[in-house]
């Protein structure tokens, strides 16, 4: 989609703004989170998130229309299920970073919370962006190059 074919972009030249236009509400990211954790059916998403049916219908439609989820026939052959596309799976580092930020800043010290573990049951290590030379990157060591 280009800015000229979708005039609804908040900021047509900013990748962060476009991403937020697509998945920037809490329900969309929770649907993606649950799809990453194995949810496939409308009922599973409804149960896991507690979202209202009409909002879930809207978010599943939006995520499917924008290529983050795809629908396919469930193995039972009786209903449709939702699966992550490559674009949806590419949100894993985003969900991971949000989770890790939440672990550091959204809980009181010692307050219990869920933990993301790898297939061996080991907690996933902290994500830390690094430059090509291996140095840590943050807001102080990067800047945005604007398009003209």
- Tens of pLDDT, residues 4-34: 455 588 998 899 999 999 999 999 999 999 9
Q: What is the pLDDT of residue 148?
A: 75
Cβ proximity of 100 and 92 under 8 Å: no
Instruction: Kindly report the average pLDDT of the chain as a whole number.
Output: 92
Q: Which domains does the chain have, with CATH numbers?
A: 15-90 (1.10.10.10)
Contacts 24+ apart (CB under 8 A), 66-75: 66/22, 68/22, 68/23, 68/32, 69/31, 69/35, 74/40, 74/41
- Tens of pLDDT, residues 126-146: 999 999 999 999 999 999 998
């Amino acid at each position: 989609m280009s800015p000229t074919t979708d005039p609804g972009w908040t900021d047509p030249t900013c990748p962060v703004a476009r991403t937020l236009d697509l998945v920037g509400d809490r329900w969309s990211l929770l649907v993606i989170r649950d799809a990453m954790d194995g949810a496939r059916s409308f009922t599973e998403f409804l149960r896991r998130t507690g979202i209202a049916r009409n909002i879930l219908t809207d978010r599943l439609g939006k995520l499917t229309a924008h290529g983050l989820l795809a629908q396919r026939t469930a193995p039972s052959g009786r209903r449709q299920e939702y699966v992550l596309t490559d674009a949806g799976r590419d949100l894993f580092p985003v969900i991971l970073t949000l989770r890790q930020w939440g672990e550091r800043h959204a809980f009181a010290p010692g307050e219990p919370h869920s933990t993301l573990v790898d297939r061996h049951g080991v907690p996933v290590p902290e994500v830390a962006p690094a430059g090509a030379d291996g140095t840590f990157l943050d807001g102080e060591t990067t800047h945005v190059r604007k398009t003209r």
